[in-house]
Chains A and B, each alone.
Chain A
Amino acid sequence: MAAVTLLVNGEQRTAHVAPETTLLRMLRDEFQLTGSKLGCDVGDCGACTVIVDGKSVNSCLMLAVQADGRDVLTIEGLATKEQLHPLQQLFEEKGSLQCGFCGPGVIMSAKALLDENPDPSEHDIRDALAGNLCRCTGYTKMIEAIQAVAQLRQDRPAAKSVA
């Protein structure tokens, strides 16, 4: 068993896991953060996308021990008790999610994109989501929602602080 200590959604956490445990399994089984999903377990579908040290990552491809000492942000870390994250709000308003299973992964990929590129083109957005498979929505309303969030931040720079 290996000891792993890391920041998860701003809080320091520790777990003891078998060395072959993935970051995804540690998040889900050890920390009960089941928002990140297991869709394929081999990095093809993106349902497990989280943000590690600012970069979006397929958490099923990262070993838990590789996350030791790192800063991990999951879907559970976006909203506060008072408000939804703008991505969560706009995804809801625009009807961007249907079955919802790919949702957390898509939202994390979108957040990573907007953190790096606050004014993305449609192609930039499609490119950022290319590793997140969705079978229900055709991606159309997801792109609309991400564009709306980017627009919101252009119109009201104060809204950026919510991120």
Chain B
Amino acid sequence: MKRRGRGIACMWYPIGFTVAANPSAAVVKINEDGTATLLTGTVETGQGSLTILAQIVAQELGIATDDVHVVSADTDTTPMDTGAIASRTTYVTGNAARLAAEKAKNILFEVAAPVLGVKPSQLECADHKIQVLGFPQRNMHIGDVADRARGVNGQPPIGSASYNPATVALDAETGQGKPFATYVYATQIAEVDVDDETGEVEVLRIVASHDCGTPINPMLVEGQVEGGISMGVGFALEEEILFDKFGRQMNPNLTNYIMPTSLDMPKIEVDIVDSYDPTGPFGAKGVGEPTCVSTAAAILNAIHDAVGVRIHSLPATAEKVHAALKAKRAQEARQITAGAA
């Protein structure tokens, strides 16, 4: 018989390396037509980092995402980056990219200011224009300014910057200190059906509420959450590397290492928590790893709710759940007998 249950799990997760310096450097070059190029040493591993870095640079310069071309991951031509790790790219590389864009922008402001008859601090970028704060009708097209910067002022608009999160080393004895610049928070709630005869668990629905600071690209945040949940479902119910008594893996293949297919995935509903981190680029933090952190806990709590057994080790395979149910029934039978005696 199928029994329904629900489980909740919340979590927190840091952005960047633990205490250790993990800088990122970036270079932004503004072209003579107002489009731009970003040079970054980071690596696109599928998470969409190059897209959101383009969005951050575009935002700083008041141009569109498609106006920014990203060149990445070449030690000859791109500046150093500590890498696509520890959910740091949006925050650390993003900050570096924004600062680099700001420097290039400031060169444009120096060039446009005398033409518009104002001080550089009175200018802003918006909608492909460099315009006067409070008087947007006084403006120049960003391309015209960039061209002028090169051809009249002799100052190509290039900005180079780096960023490293602010941390404080941990005390050797007590572990007290400031290991990370910022953290993200999330909750996932799982709804499951447990077959109380076979122990099989079906995950029906997961509701996920994730903090990532400002979502630079909500579609990509959703993609990360959905993907993270699939890793969490596998971690909770299916995946395990098995070893023989000699220490050799027994299932180094995808036939016997079970990971979630499209049929194993629940209905997923994603909400992004309204939040803003003043230390991140336009308030953003990060999201890559947090997405798979609370899934297994939520599912295991849902199993507990459904059939009243606590599984203490992952994965919660059907065999394990079935054995736990059997033990629970045996214990209940003993209690009844003891009570009757």
Contact = CB atoms under 8 A, between A and B. Distances in A.
Nearest to A139: B262
Counting chain B CB atoms within 10 Å of each CB, the highest count among A42, A94, A135 belongs to A135
Interface residues of A, number: 28
B23 interface: no
Contacts of B268: 138, 140
B315 interface: no
B255 A140 contact: no
Interface stretch (B68-76, B106-114, B148-156, B226-234): B226-234
Interface string B176-220: 000000000000000000000000000000000000000000011
Interface string A80-121: 000000000000001100111100000000000000000000
Interface in A16-70: 40, 42, 44-45
A95 B223 contact: yes
B230 A139 contact: yes
Nearest to B233: A138
Contacts of B336: none
B226 A137 contact: yes
Interface residues of B, number: 24
B215 to A, nearest CB: 13
A44 B253 contact: yes
B48 interface: yes
B45 interface: yes
A99 B254 contact: no
Interface string A113-153: 00000000000011101111111111111110000000000
Contact of A95 (B222, B262, B263): B222
Nearest to A106: B262
A127 B263 contact: yes
Nearest to B220: A95
B335 to A, nearest CB: 42
A137 B222 CA distance: 9
A130 to B, nearest CB: 5
Contacts of B137: none
A127 B263 CA distance: 6
A126 B226 contact: no
A138 B230 contact: yes
B24 to A, nearest CB: 21
Contacts of B261: 129-133, 139
A132 B46 contact: no
A141 B262 CA distance: 11
A86 to B, nearest CB: 19
A143 B267 CA distance: 11
Contacts of A134: 230, 262
Contact of A99 (B45, B226, B260): B45
Given A138-B268, A140-B268, A44 B47 contact: no
A138 B220 contact: no
Interface in B233-258: 253-255
Contact of A136 (B227, B254, B255, B262): B227
Contacts of B226: 137-141
A139 B267 CA distance: 11
B46 A99 contact: yes
B265 interface: yes
A139 B220 CA distance: 14
A42 B253 contact: yes
A94 B222 CA distance: 11
B64 interface: no
A98 B46 contact: yes
A100 B230 contact: no
Counting chain A CB atoms within 10 Å of each CB, the highest count among B46, B47, B220 belongs to B46
Interface of A: 40, 42, 44-45, 94-95, 98-101, 125-127, 129-143
Given A40-B254, A98-B48, A139-B226, 6 more contacts: A44-B255, A95-B220, A126-B262, A126-B265, A136-B227, A138-B260
9 contacts: A95-B219, A125-B262, A130-B262, A135-B230, A138-B230, A139-B262, A139-B265, A141-B223, A141-B226
